[in-house]
Chain A
Amino acid sequence: MTTWSRYLSQPTSAELLADQQRLLFVRPDDAEQEEELVETALPNVSELAFFLEQAGVGLGKEEMHRIFLALKQLVDSEELQRCRLWGKILGTTSSYIVAEAECKEGLEEEEEEEKEEEEQSDEGAVKKEEDPLLQTNLKPPPVVPKEALGTGANKFMFYVCSEPGLPWVKLPSVSPAQITAARQIHKFFTGRLDAPVVCNPPFPGKEVNYLRAQISRISAGTQASPLGYYEMQEEEEESDAEDSYEVNPDFEGIPVAEMTESLTNWVHNIQHILPQGRCTWVNLAAKAGDDSNENEEEEEEEDEPEPEIGPPLLTPLSKDEQMFNIPPWNTRLSSRLTPQHAVAVLRSNLWPGAVAYADGKKFDNIYVGWGVKYMGEGYSPALPPLPQGEFPTGPEISEAVDPAVEEEESQEEHEGSQEEREESDEEEKEDDDDE
């Protein structure tokens, strides 16, 4: 029966994919001969693949080359300034190949305008509906605002595709609520961007948002560079620009042996995400003060929340906390027999699959894994909250059954007859006294 399948006209999935991947190899006719000295946004994935293979991480030579060509397609179609292969996240039915790119400035404004329009239309609709109903005084807790594109957790844009050759999908920017929710759940990815994330506590969004949140967490936790490769930019005017750094032109490279010996030679180059879900802390109490001017006295009495501080950018990895009694990182040399030409490999124990390599002046990071953090021996999900207690029952609020009319009348007669008897008793007594 199996031979018949070749005569049927339905193409196999491999054939369909091959047709799409053939486009990767087509060179556009109008491509001018670019000068070799021009810097391109395209990363040198072949070189990356070689070093990663030395480090023991890899996706296969041909697959890496297909990814290389797919990144080239992405850079050409989206006109990106800077692009990097971030890694691969495995899922249960299919996987995601993730590319990191720097934000273009023009896009920021478009997204903000769209958001404002949506908010206005929502408010208008809600106001009309609420007018005939009673308005409650209960206000939902203020939502932590998203960070602007190009700063903090939204510093880079991410594109994903499930196979090189298929179109790249841009991931939306991440909100602090999504990051806080992602910290509490432990779920695999399915491979479909529109799949719902079913868990407790409920995740605000679909798999595409969960993916974006995990990518932010992994980047913040595991992206590392050699000490001295980046240096902080000294901004004079704005104090917000804590996350600006630039490549140090005087970097001479650290010998590989020193990179493997101590973790002080590696530094984080992505800002740490605070418990609030953002990289820069926002004082929510100050924001609430704008809305209600009546309760000024109460606000002054309340304690102001303490600002959350995280480690500053470019802190060495040796200062990372140890969790679950295992060191957060381990370093190796890629080769024992030829240490002269070996590469320093840094692996993360908290995010299994995050690897960085360094060889003198060259370094890079990659993540290939399932997208979940190491949670220690056992993980128990958050239990649903207890049901709210009811108002305690008592006589003042419990209904008493009203007596029926016949019962009332019989009660009155009974009382009336009692009074007569009492009166007659008194009369008898008076008579007795008189006598």
Chain B
Amino acid sequence: MDANTLYCSLELVAGSGHTLNSEQRAALQTSLVILRKNYKFKRVLFWGKIMGLKEDYFIAQGRGEDELKDRTSLYSFNCIDWLQLPPATDALINHVTTAAKGRFIGDPSFVYDHDPQQRPGTEKQAEEVMAAKVTEEMRLAVTVHLIDEEVSVVPRGAFVKRPHGLVQLNPSFSGLSESEAIKLDNYLHFSEPKNLKKKSILELGELNPAIDFLDVLSDDIPKGSWSLQLECAGRVCVLRSLLWLGLTFYHVPMTQQHGYIYMGYGNKNLDLPFML
């Protein structure tokens, strides 16, 4: 969620159970401003908190010109000193997802033991894999990237795609109406679209290319992996992901306020089909 509105938006997502205490909030208000100045971000967000066994990681994200592509993530233990996370490439993602299992420890230099039996490839491949070890910092970068990729949410109309291809905040977004806010069709994934090309020309004709350039949440498989509720006396629409437990998105209908935050353990809920 945007650092400028952190003080009031934390109350709106608190329905999921996790908040920040007053010391952390005060520290964030100061350090995010400094962060924005140092890294020259256009906008800086507090992305969330990943809880480890010994320590918790606080994650912030800076956005550049293109909101979708210029994303830099940073982590901290005390909300004051921020360290940059490495960018998550496909090779890194494959490497980490096989090696790292279990809960986050809380130590960024912790090395995960790689199980050599899992790779029945050639000897050369096995050697390469054994050489590069997986640290928790890499795992953190990959987890943040995967969560953004799979479950980050924005309301329809909040972002526009400019003619040059840049994705930016829509200044004339006035919020979803009360009736639109309770339908899952009006929420979009904030990541590169995968399902748009599969739609028929008839469906594409109804969409507005400036606004509807992202995947809709209601196309997610399995159906029911999002929990949509009205919280805070019915004034705030809250979406919770059941795939990554801990991701909460809020939107106050008829206003511009929206945002998402992840407060959880950093593990994907692979048992989802059994639990629905």
Contacts and interface: CB of A to CB of B under 8 A. Distances in A.
B185 to A, nearest CB: 15
A349 B53 contact: yes
B265 interface: yes
Contacts, number: 121
B130 to A, nearest CB: 22
Contact of B21 (A15, A55, A95): A55
A92 B227 contact: yes
Contact of B180 (A2, A91, A188, A336): A2
Interface in A34-90: 53-63, 66, 88, 90
A66 B102 contact: no
Contact of B19 (A56, A66, A163): A56
Given A14-B233, A90-B227, A59 B270 contact: no
A15 B15 CA distance: 20
B270 A60 contact: no
Which of B21, B51, B242, B271 has the most chain A CB within a 10 Å cutoff? B21
17 contacts: A2-B179, A5-B179, A14-B234, A18-B233, A53-B19, A56-B24, A57-B17, A62-B11, A62-B232, A92-B276, A95-B15, A163-B234, A326-B103, A327-B53, A347-B51, A352-B265, A377-B270
Interface in A326-349: 326-327, 330, 334-338, 347, 349
A142 interface: no
Interface string B170-205: 000000011110000000000000000000000000
Interface in A87-112: 88, 90-95
A378 interface: yes
Listed from nearest, the 6 A-B pairs whose CB atoms lie closest are A368-B17, A14-B234, A60-B14, A2-B177, A58-B19, A17-B234
Contacts of A379: 271, 274
A398 interface: no
B21 A54 contact: yes
Contact of B240 (A61, A90, A187): A90
Contacts of B12: 60
Q: Is the interface of A mostly helix, strand, loop or mixed?
A: loop
Contacts of A151: none
B17 A377 contact: no
Given A53-B22, A92-B224, A186-B271, A324 B102 contact: yes
A375 to B, nearest CB: 7
Contact of A58 (B14, B78, B231, B242): B14
A179 B230 CA distance: 31
A244 interface: no
Contacts of A369: 17
Interface of A: 2, 5, 12-18, 21, 53-63, 66, 88, 90-95, 163, 186-188, 324-327, 330, 334-338, 347, 349, 352-353, 368-370, 372, 375, 377-379, 381
B20 A56 contact: yes
Nearest to B78: A336
A17 B19 contact: no
A378 B271 CA distance: 7
B16 A63 contact: no
B18 interface: yes
Given A14-B233, A379-B271, A337 B23 contact: yes
Interface of B: 11-12, 14-24, 51, 53-54, 78, 101-103, 177-180, 224, 227-235, 240, 242, 245, 265, 270-271, 274-276
Nearest to A14: B234
Contacts of B178: 5, 12, 14
B177 A61 contact: no
Contacts of B245: 352, 370
B157 to A, nearest CB: 12
B261 to A, nearest CB: 13
A6 B21 CA distance: 38
A337 B23 CA distance: 8
Contacts of B180: 2
Contacts of B240: 90
A59 B227 contact: no
Contacts of A13: 230, 234
A326 B274 CA distance: 24
A240 B240 CA distance: 45
A326 B23 CA distance: 29
A189 to B, nearest CB: 10
B232 A63 contact: yes
B102 A325 contact: yes
A94 B230 CA distance: 8
Contacts of B233: 14, 17-18, 21, 62, 66, 163
B53 A326 contact: yes
Contact of B177 (A5, A57, A368): A5
B56 to A, nearest CB: 8
A219 B267 CA distance: 24
Contacts of B11: 60-62
Contact of A330 (B54, B102, B177): B54
A326 B102 contact: yes
A93 B227 contact: yes
